[in-house]
Amino acid sequence: MKVPYLIEFPKVGASDIGFISIAEHPQYIPFEVKRVFWTYYTPESVLRGRHAHHITEQVLVAVAGRIIVTAEQANGTVELFRLEDPYVGLYIPPNVWHTMQYSHSAVQLVLASSTYDEQDYIRQHDQFRQIWKA
């Protein structure tokens, strides 16, 4: 069973000139990237995500600001991840219910293993628990 985990990307540079981080497949990204999207200007009071995927894998990166991610696995294990360094990503495998809460200045970059398909989403928590019962 795949589980969520943090990925530390290379951080190349120095504080006087700035940094660059690299996310390559398969060294750092455990899947071939088929879609990239980003979220921004999300009010702090809004809880986003609130879904799981049947097949899509994702890596979430807070390229700016802070994002608190709650990840619930099918076996009921719940983990809290704090993303606030642009050289750290969070791997979210399929069948993990996840929610995100953003600081006002947060920009989240998402690398996904598949293109958008509404049928891949599990949007009801009760349905998630039924589908992925251990």
* Beta bridge mates, 81: 69
- Looking at residue 12, its pLDDT comes to 96
Residue matched to tokens 């190349």: 12
pLDDT tens string for the chain (134 positions)? Answer: 799 999 999 999 999 999 999 999 999 999 999 999 999 999 999 999 999 999 999 999 999 999 999 999 988 899 999 999 999 999 999 999 999 999 999 999 999 999 999 999 999 999 998 876 75
* 3-class DSSP state of 97: strand
Of the residues 25, 51, 104, 125, which is catalytic?
51
- To the question of pTM greater than 0.85 for the whole model, the response is yes
Cβ-Cβ contacts under 8 Å for 17 (sequence gap 6 or more): none
125 is catalytic: no
- What is the C-alpha to C-alpha distance for residues 117 and 20, in angstroms, rounded to an integer? 32
